[in-house]
Structure 1
Amino acid sequence: MKPLIVSSYDPVGGAGASRSAYRLHQGFLKLGIDSRMLVQDKRMDDPTLVSAPNQFAQKIWKARRNLDALPLKFYQNRQKGAVLFPIQWLPDIINPQINKLAPDIVNLRWICDGFLPIEALAKIKKPIVWTFADLWAFTGGCCYSQGCDGYTKSCGKCPILKSDRSWDLSRLTWQRKAKAWRDLKFTIVTPSHWLAQCARSSSLFCDKDIRVIHHGLDIELYHPTEQKTARNLLNLPQDKHLVLFGAINAINNHRKGFALLQAALQKLSHSSLQNKIELIVFGASQPEKTIELGFPIHYLGKIDDERKLALLYSSADVMIVPSTEEVFGQTASESLACGTPVVCFDTTGLKDLVDHQQNGYRAECLSSEDLANGIAWVIENPERSQKLSLQAREKAEREFNLLTQAGRYLSLFEELLHS
């Protein structure tokens, strides 16, 4: 079998979506499958990753990201920063490369930033399995809806665009998807039951075949290391409760919930845990303006070395994932694999990972007070913490093993190829 994974980025140039795509690709290779991964922006030295055929084409492919965003110039008051709104309107130049690679089946991943146009999916002549990385496929352009249910109808009056018009860019993009994909047959995979439910409630995909396959990871790489050893190797204090928080653009991305974590830690600074906690932040450098928590903060920046990242998880007493919307939460699965309990909110995709008071704590949604309660509950009792740690690792071995995930995809591919 020759699967082709199509993703805008490789793990170096992208975020969590590209990392999960590459991990599946690695899982296929470990199982002896002739897998290839086609990316818009290749930065890794891996011969199984394929990009533009020559340097001139590479420049064109990379320029598409900025060109795709040009229609947003008409919405100067829109939400900006970490809020993405891909349009995918540029001409298709990717399908010739897909055809040249001659796969048996195509697994689409995150294909935005100008990579694969909406209308191009119909030109793919092989069976398609589309793994959703966020909500973009069934919205008018947003990747996370922020509570808006416009995608259950036909979008318009988009709050992210700050538009008061029914026929705005979100409605036009939704209409393009509806027209291009109406008669197109493909199978959808989501990494969480929450995202599957969102897709089933959407007007575009309510009648599609939707499966749930959790993201996997290398549980031999992400494994527990004795906490004292991990802290020594990373030069972290031995006599403190270390609270870990991390994501790409961790502090400035509102969806990642740092403001809610900040409020929770400020509450704990006035509790019996005063002077006993230190916060470790990865994925963000120290901001110019000092953030006051009542506890010391260690900023480690972006960590590309996965072995170092695994040590960091093992060094912590608890990992906090306070996201308000999360399709899956790979930092949570990585932490669990390293035996570190996770505290999150009882919402969205994280509910598939964190079993309340079994391998972590699911706080009342958006309640900083209950988030603080969860942090304290995990770290205050050493015997409880040890039990949570063992159950965290067991969950990862049972549900997030990369080879198990790859096997589930291969079973789906075989089913589709022989149906």
Structure 2
Amino acid sequence: MKVLHLSTHDIDGGAARAAYRLHTGLQDIGLQSQMLVQEKSSNDKTVIAPKTRLFQGFAKAKLTFESLPLKLYRQKKNTPFFVQWLPDRIIPKVAQINPDIINLHWISAAFMQIETFPKLKRPLVWTLHDMWGFTGGCHVTGECDRYKVSCGACPQLNSGNEWDLSRWTWQRKVKAWKNLNLTLVSPSSWLAQCARSSSLFQDLRIEVIPHGLDIQKYRPINKDFAREILKLPQDKKLILFGAIEATSDRNKGFHLLQPALQELSKSGWKDNVEVVVFGASQPENPPDLGCRTRYLGHLHDDISLATVYSAADVMLVPSLQESFGQAASESFSCGTPVVAFNSTGLKDIVDHQQNGYLAKPYEAEDFAKGITWVLEDEQRLQKLSFYAREKAQQEFTLELQAHRYSALFQEILMSANKSSFSN
């Protein structure tokens, strides 16, 4: 079986890393897997990207032109919004690779035009990494549920017009995708339910397969050793928070984390804990988090991430919406419990008071209570750590994920072959 993954990036960003992990997992179980990307950061020969500077420059120029329609909405919120209206060069490359099945991933940022989907002429599996597939252009919907109908009057565009850019994008998807041989895979039950309730995907097959990771790379490291490497204190409880654009992306919940940590400090923990932040450098005017805070900057490799997870006593994931929450599964794999809100994809990872704590959405006071609950009893903390690692071993391994996808691919191809034979 020859599998081709389409992804804007290979390892740059959470969705890209998830796609690349699946790609390597499929190779490990014997499948022929390749990735076709717009921008390549790895040196993996099975990842295909534009080689010439001309094509690389063309890809970056496309991103500028992609955003032109958004200029009409001067009051637009500062959130990702893509309409994917520009032509692409994907079809000839796909024909050259000649895969049996195509696995779509995060294909925004002008990588792939909406109208290209039916031209691929292959059975399609789309791994949802956010909500863009069934919206009029946004990736995180917040409190808006207009994707259940037909979008329009988009709050992220700050538009009161029913026939706005989001409606136009939604209609293009309806027209282009109406007869696709398309199966959806969601990494969480929550995102699957959102897709099922959408007007675009309500009639499609949707499977839930959690993201996998290499639990040998992400494994518990001796805490004292990990802290020594990172020059972190040995005599404090370490509270970890991190994500790409950790402090600037509102969806990652830093604005909720700050009052929760201040509440924790007031309750008597100020001198006993330190906060460690990765995914962001220290700002010029650091916010007051109630206790000493260290900023590690951006960590890009698995070893560094596994080390910082292992150094911490608890990982905080205060996100508003997560399709899955790889920071939580990575932390679990390193034996570090997680505090998160009892919402969206994180509910599939964290089991309340078994391997972490699920706070009431989106109450900073209960989030602080969860941090205290995890840290205050050393024996309990050891049990939480044990069960965190155990869940990663049981549910989030690359091998398990790869076998689930392989079985799905085989089933889809058999069905397609039967249909072709009968016709």
TM-score, normalised via structure 1 length: 0.98
Shift of 1:92: 3.0
Letter in 2 for 1:142: C
Q: Is the 8 A contact 1:36 1:50 kept in 2?
A: yes
Q: Does 1:8 align with 2:15?
A: no
Q: Does 1:36 align with 2:21?
A: no
Give 5+ residue unaligned stretches, structure 1: none
Runs of 4+ in 1 over 4 A off after TM superposition: none
Q: Is the 8 A contact 1:37 1:50 kept in 2?
A: yes
User: Aligned to 1:175, which of 171, 188, 194?
Assistant: 171
Q: Find the aligned partners of 2:199 and 2:276 in 1 and give their Cα distance.
A: 42
User: Aligned to 2:54, which of 48, 53, 56?
Assistant: 56
User: Aligned to 2:399, which of 400, 403, 415?
Assistant: 403
Shift of 1:53: 5.4
In the alignment, what sits opposite 2:418? none
Secondary structure (helix, strand or coil) at the match of 2:8 reads strand
Q: Find the aligned partners of 1:46 and 1:226 in 2 and give their Cα distance.
A: 31
In the alignment, what sits opposite 1:25? 23
In the alignment, what sits opposite 1:377? 373
Q: Is the 8 A contact 1:41 1:62 kept in 2?
A: no
In the alignment, what sits opposite 2:130? 134
Q: Find the aligned partners of 1:271 and 1:43 in 2 and give their Cα distance.
A: 45
In the alignment, what sits opposite 1:75? 73
Which structure 2 residues correspond to residues 235-274 of structure 1 after superposition, within 5 A? 235-274=231-270
Q: Find the aligned partners of 2:195 and 2:56 in 1 and give their Cα distance.
A: 33
Is 84-93 or 242-251 further displaced after alignment? 84-93
Secondary structure (helix, strand or coil) at the match of 1:44 reads coil
Q: Find the aligned partners of 1:199 and 1:283 in 2 and give their Cα distance.
A: 29
Deviations 1:104-129 (A, max 9, x none): 11000000111111110000111110
Q: Kindly report the root-mean-square deviation, in angstroms, between the aligned alpha carbons of the 2 structures.
A: 0.9
Letter in 2 for 1:28: L
In the alignment, what sits opposite 1:117? 113
Shift of 1:59: 2.1
Q: Is the 8 A contact 1:5 1:25 kept in 2?
A: yes
Secondary structure (helix, strand or coil) at the match of 1:28 reads helix
Q: Find the aligned partners of 2:340 and 2:51 in 1 and give their Cα distance.
A: 43
Secondary structure (helix, strand or coil) at the match of 2:267 reads coil
Shift of 1:274: 2.4
Letter in 1 for 2:337: P
Q: Find the aligned partners of 1:274 and 1:70 in 2 and give their Cα distance.
A: 48
Shift of 1:382: 0.4
Which structure 2 residues correspond to residues 125-274 of structure 1 after superposition, within 5 A? 125-274=121-270
Secondary structure (helix, strand or coil) at the match of 2:401 reads helix
Q: Does 1:340 align with 2:336?
A: yes
Secondary structure (helix, strand or coil) at the match of 1:362 reads strand
Q: Find the aligned partners of 2:35 and 2:218 in 1 and give their Cα distance.
A: 23
Deviations 1:15-43 (A, max 9, x none): 10000000011111222221100000112
Q: Find the aligned partners of 1:305 and 1:404 in 2 and give their Cα distance.
A: 23
Q: Is the 8 A contact 1:40 1:62 kept in 2?
A: no
Secondary structure (helix, strand or coil) at the match of 2:57 reads helix
Q: Find the aligned partners of 1:57 and 1:295 in 2 and give their Cα distance.
A: 48
User: Aligned to 2:327, which of 328, 331, 338?
Assistant: 331
Secondary structure (helix, strand or coil) at the match of 1:157 reads coil
Letter in 2 for 1:219: I
Q: Find the aligned partners of 1:150 and 1:243 in 2 and give their Cα distance.
A: 37
Q: Find the aligned partners of 1:321 and 1:99 in 2 and give their Cα distance.
A: 42
Deviations 1:297-317 (A, max 9, x none): 110010012111101101100
Secondary structure (helix, strand or coil) at the match of 2:268 reads coil
Q: Find the aligned partners of 2:86 and 2:112 in 1 and give their Cα distance.
A: 8
Shift of 1:10: 1.6
Shift of 1:233: 1.7
In the alignment, what sits opposite 2:44? 46
- Identity among equivalent pairs (%): 54
Give 5+ residue unaligned stretches, structure 2: 416-423
Is 368-377 or 66-75 further displaced after alignment? 66-75
